[in-house]
Amino acid sequence: MTLTNRPPAGFAPVTAGKMMFGLIGAAAMVEAGRKLVAENSLEDPAPIVGRSLQQAAMAHYGTVDSANPPTSIDETDILKLAQAARGADLLFDVQVTGWGFAYKPSLTHYFVLLGVKLRVIDVPNKVLIAEGFCSRNDKDAKDLPTYDQLLAEHAALLKSKLKADTDACIEEFKQKVLNIPASAT
């Protein structure tokens, strides 16, 4: 079994100020996301999800880690993914489809969001055997933080919320995609 090693997805800090400027604001948002990730050492959730699921599959099903390093690829085609992972029996393709934070209609309070996709590929047969998508956000929570609260102390609150969302996605994938009962996790 091996994992994909994809380029990190862009972090999207959606603020009211940037949204007012359309495409120019979107470009500014991308740059602001890069800066936030670098300055606050935000960790891409994909490798965390992949490693956790790989360990869970090894413990529950007795799968064996491939001698191959994670497959570095930025591709979604099943055949190309399988070709890149040859030598392994299974490939866990984990991709963050979106992560960041956005404002509520009040424009002063923010919710955190995370989207992750998992595909399990039978490498020798070059077929998709399982997949799932996990989407998390806390936009309906009471007392959402302000921008400053979210990013205080090197984004401690943002990191905490992203970790909780990442952990929730891991558990969801274990149960719904890998069929590992909650009692076994």
CATH number of the domain where residue 73 is located: 3.30.160
Domain assignment present for residue 53? The answer is yes
Backbone conformation region of residue 116, classed left if phi is above 0, alpha if psi is from -120 to 50, else beta: beta
Domain assignment present for residue 161? The answer is yes
Domain assignment present for residue 172? The answer is yes
CA distance 154 to 40: 5
Residue 8 — pLDDT band, cuts 50, 70, 90?
Answer: very high
Residue 184 — pLDDT band, cuts 50, 70, 90?
Answer: low
Domain assignment present for residue 58? The answer is yes
Domain ranges, residue 151 = 2-178
Domain assignment present for residue 184? The answer is no
CA distance 169 to 57: 15
Task: Indicate if the alpha-carbon torsion angle 140, 141, 142, 144 is positive or negative.
Answer: negative
Taking the mean position of all CA atoms in its chain, how far away is CA 168? 11
Domain assignment present for residue 183? The answer is no
Domain assignment present for residue 48? The answer is yes
Rounded mean pLDDT of 140-144? 91
Q: Which residues on adjacent β-strands are paired with residue 122?
A: 90, 127
**What's the structural domain count of the chain?**
1
Full-prediction pTM beyond 0.95? Answer: no
Domain assignment present for residue 144? The answer is yes
